[in-house]
Amino acid sequence: MRRRVIIESPYAGNVEANIAYARECLRDSLLRGEAPIASHLLYTQEGVLDDKVPEDRARGIAAGIDWYMVADLCVVYSDLGISSGMQRGIDRARDWNVPIKYRKIRG
């Protein structure tokens, strides 16, 4: 069975660039033989949740964090720094004793 991996990468700010980066992170994880999820990409698709609406943002973050109950690994892709949303995920991983790995895929 593949390791269930939660991808932590930035979303807010330069959303377009951060989406492109998150896609690179997903690919990197898949090529490593992992089964990744990047809830910030999934939940912010058009027609799902709007990250600019505080209630939607809170719903998305809460739902993403709940995945830590079944995750095998939290991978923090840190090329672009660590955002406050990523830090919440890191904190939840620690709360649930999910191992945390930091990766860089650029440069």
Q: Is the residue at 20 inside a domain?
A: yes
Instruction: Report if residue 17 sits inside a domain.
Output: yes
Tens of pLDDT along the chain (107 residues) come to 899 999 999 998 999 999 999 999 999 999 999 999 999 999 999 999 998 899 998 999 889 889 999 999 999 999 999 999 899 899 999 999 999 999 999 87
Residue 104 lies in a domain: no
Report yes or no on 69 lying in a domain.
yes
Judge whether 40 lies within some domain. yes
Please tell me the predicted confidence (pLDDT) of residue 12: 86
Measured in whole angstroms, how far is the alpha carbon of residue 13 from the centre of its chain? 15
Q: What is the pLDDT of residue 106?
A: 87
Report the interhelical angle of 84-95 vs 54-66 (nearest 10°).
30
- Alpha-carbon distance of 38 to 45, in angstroms, equals 12
Q: Does residue 106 lie in a domain region?
A: no
* Residue 16 CB-density burial (10 A; 0-12 exposed, 13-18 middle, 19+ buried): exposed
Residue 89 domain-assigned? yes
What pLDDT is attached to residue 67? 94
Number of domains, the chain: 1
Domain that holds residue 25: 4-96
The overall pTM is greater than 0.75:
yes
